[in-house]
């Protein structure tokens, strides 16, 4: 008696471990599903430890984005995008029992490289930060990087100072903060800051390329009273990035209380400014205004990287705001560092 098709299908499913389902009464050759061209081969390649497909799969399972190939793939020549290479000890599997360490690999298999925050303070312990220029003199010894940041990270910020910017110099870092880079000497409050060298077009291009490859740069301003002098040099760096500072008055001033919704502004309501400069340009998104309506914060994404242009420098003096309870400067820094960092690296929860 001929069986009903449904009976055959049920029997086929129940007997799958012993006999493959083909036409009724016939076995199915499984070889077509294995090997380099079949689905079995593709799945094996995607799940191999350290493979780009495996990393993308793990990232997708974790709810984050990760390079999957082409220009977005892990690139051993770019440490901002480089992930575990084949046989390097990294893993694409989820839930690895290996502890995360600062080694450029996704040790715990959660899709994020170097996401280590031992103290749970919202700063990634593996984050590689550098500064260009010098910290300003307008505080009682405040320096957000030497004190606030370094106290929260086991990877100290590196001062590049007045060095000539090259691809090789910028390559190791994930985030770069531009401090005072004015062409004029600045003497006040018992301190003297030497004039910075004039940035060449080759330096500006090196920074642009570094950002496009996944770096995050943040600039500050307001160290001098004469914006026409101070803004010239930093604008040489910013111009290829599509945002510059206004070189004339009026200046950004007073409490910033007008914020647009964005990951950088989350939880931020009030931040002080004093004699800053307005970020201008046709590119990017405006995130904050002062009481005059001047732009205080403008950001943009440039290919794989991020640009954050802040209209003042007061936030770099942690000695001035650490004990302040009516402003959210620390939250602004935490948000900003997280946003500037590549999405598949050093991303830790904020407290």
Q: Within a 10 A sphere around the Cβ of 169, how many other Cβ atoms?
A: 16
Positive or negative CA dihedral for 320, 195, 175, 127?
negative
In-domain check, residue 19: no
DSSP 264: T
Q: In this structure, is residue 74 part of a structural domain?
A: no
Across the strands, what pairs with 258? Answer: 289
The closest of 45, 26, 25 to 35, measured between CA atoms, is: 45
Cα–Cα nearest to 155, from 348, 335, 310, 304? 348
Structurally, the chain folds into a number of domains equal to 1
Query: Rounded to an integer, what distance in angstroms lies between the CA atom of residue 174 and that of residue 110?
Result: 20
CATH of the domain at 238: 3.40.50.880
For residue 187, list its beta bridge partners. Answer: 192
Classify residue 110: in a domain, yes or no.
no
d(CA 295, CA 285): 10
Residue 24 lies in a domain: no
DSSP 86: T
Would you say residue 60 lies in a domain? no
108 in Cβ contact with 102 (< 8 Å) = no
Q: Please check whether residue 180 is in contact with residue 193, taking contact to mean a CB–CB distance below 8 angstroms.
A: yes
Q: Note whether residue 29 is domain-resident.
A: no
What is the CB neighbour count within 10 angstroms for residue 4? 9
Whether the CB-CB separation of 219 and 201 falls below 8 Å is answered with: no
Note down pLDDT in tens along the chain; length 351 residues: 444 444 433 343 333 343 344 444 333 343 333 333 333 333 333 333 333 333 333 333 333 333 333 333 444 455 555 443 333 333 333 556 789 999 999 999 999 999 999 999 999 999 999 999 999 888 777 788 888 998 899 899 999 999 999 999 999 999 999 999 999 998 888 888 899 999 999 999 999 999 999 999 999 999 998 898 999 999 999 999 999 999 998 999 999 999 999 999 999 999 999 999 999 999 999 999 999 999 999 999 999 999 999 999 999 998 888 888 999 999 999 999 999 999 999 999 997
Tell me whether residue 325 is in a domain: yes
Range of 319's domain?
129-340
CA–CA separation, 111 vs 100, rounded Å?
A: 11
CA dihedral 120, 121, 126, 129 (to 10 degrees): 170
For residue 205, tell me if it sits in a domain: yes
Q: How many residues does the chain have?
A: 351
Reading phi first (left if > 0) and then psi (alpha if -120 to 50, else beta), residue 227 is in alpha
pTM of the model: 0.74
Tokens found for residue 148: 């606030």
């Amino acid at each position: 008696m001929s069986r009903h098709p449904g009976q055959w299908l049920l029997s086929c499913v129940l007997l799958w471990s012993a006999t493959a389902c083909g036409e009724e009464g016939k076995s199915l050759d499984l070889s077509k599903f294995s090997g380099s061209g079949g689905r079995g081969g593709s799945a094996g390649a995607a799940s191999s430890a350290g493979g780009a497909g495996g990393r993308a799969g793990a990232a997708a399972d974790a709810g984050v984005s990760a390079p999957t190939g082409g220009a977005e793939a892990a690139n051993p020549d770019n440490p901002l995008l480089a992930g575990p290479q084949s046989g390097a000890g990294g893993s694409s599997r989820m839930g690895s029992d290996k502890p995360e360490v600062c080694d450029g690999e996704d040790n715990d298999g959660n899709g994020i490289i170097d996401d280590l925050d031992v103290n749970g303070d919202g700063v990634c312990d593996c984050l590689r930060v550098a500064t260009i220029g010098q910290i300003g003199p307008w505080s009682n010894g405040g320096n957000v990087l030497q004190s606030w940041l370094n106290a929260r990270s086991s990877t100290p910020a590196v001062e590049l100072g007045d060095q000539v910017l090259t691809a090789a110099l910028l390559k190791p870092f994930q985030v770069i903060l531009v401090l005072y880079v004015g062409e004029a000497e600045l003497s006040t409050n018992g301190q003297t800051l030497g004039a910075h060298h004039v940035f060449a077009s080759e330096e500006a291009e090196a920074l642009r390329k570094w950002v496009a490859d996944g770096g995050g740069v943040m600039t500050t301003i307001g160290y001098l009273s004469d914006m026409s002098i101070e803004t010239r040099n930093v604008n040489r760096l910013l111009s290829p990035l599509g945002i510059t500072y206004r070189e004339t008055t009026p200046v950004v001033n007073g409490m910033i209380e007008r914020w647009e919704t964005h990951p950088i502004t989350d939880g931020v309501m009030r931040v002080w400014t004093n004699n800053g400069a307005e970020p201008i340009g046709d590119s990017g998104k405006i995130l904050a205004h002062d009481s005059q309506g001047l732009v205080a914060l403008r950001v943009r994404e440039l290919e794989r990287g991020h640009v954050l242009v802040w209209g003042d420098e007061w936030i770099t003096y942690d000695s001035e705001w650490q004990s302040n309870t009516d402003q959210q400067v620390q939250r602004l820094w935490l948000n900003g560092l997280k946003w500037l960092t590549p999405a598949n690296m050093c991303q830790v929860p904020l407290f």
